[in-house]
Amino acid sequence: MKISFYKYQGAGNDFIMLDGFSTSYDSGLDHRVVAALCDRRFGVGADGLIIINPLEELLDFEMLYYNADGKPGSMCGNGGRCAFQFARDLRIISDRSEFLATDVHEAFLHDDGNISLKMSDVKQVERLDARTFVVDTGSPHFVRIVDDIDAVDVFREGRAIRYSDAYKEKGINVNFIEILSDRIRIATYERGVEDETLACGTGVTASALVSMELNLLNGKIRVEAKGGTLFVEAERNTGNGQYVSVWLTGPAVKTFEGTIETEDIQRS
């Protein structure tokens, strides 16, 4: 099968994008095809694959997200911004949008080219100990505060936590964060990719909420990932501890496009 694809990235978190408006992907894609496309040596290479499909509802489009292992994924913050920019480039939307990605999300374009995406409300920041938290920001995240992010072996330590008895069945994304006086530095091991990624939008969001929970940072929180800088804003409901009006802001850029024959890249 010949597939026309587009490649986008948000802070180095990269995705293969497929246009479901011009080609029908109603039944999705076989997980082996997705995994082959995302393979960085034998395919196009990406942290995940996204299809945007038309909707009959009063929303602009539906975003379907697949992890690099080919399995359907949960919400992806950087992917959501890339889907918004992809839809803009296809002239499906203009500078504002509401679309479906598990939940309904809003997004809009800033004058500087950055995109803000409204994330799901977060029910709680669960504290495991003084430096360790679990936060569900649309995807589950384990967050550990460290003294020096550069001293962390993200792949080894992240993989050990992700496949520990507590999380190996359903999986969890693992974030190591260094909280400074004016910003956060972060490194993330992502489930589904099963490796460190240059950025993770839902992980960046989780890290910012942890810093808010500890009353260390507030307002527009700057989070520096290895692939670029993102910003998070949220409001805390003091009555129930939930975080609402959670916004993730950062870049989303098209890098190239092409066509590929899936039969040529699938391996036994």
Which residues form the catalytic set?
A: 76, 200
Torsion of CA 193, 228, 120, 65, to 10 degrees: -40
Pairing mode, strands 2-10 and 13-19: antiparallel
H helical segments located in the chain: 31-38, 77-89, 154-162, 201-213, 262-265
Beta bridge partners of 98: 106
Q: 141: burial class by Cβ within 10 Å (0-12, 13-18, 19+)?
A: buried
Map tokens 């709680």 to a residue: 124
- What does the alpha-carbon distance between residue 33 and residue 7 come to, in Å, rounded to a whole number? 16
Written as one string, the DSSP assignment of 138-149 is SSEEEEEE-S-G
Cα 114 → chain centroid: 16
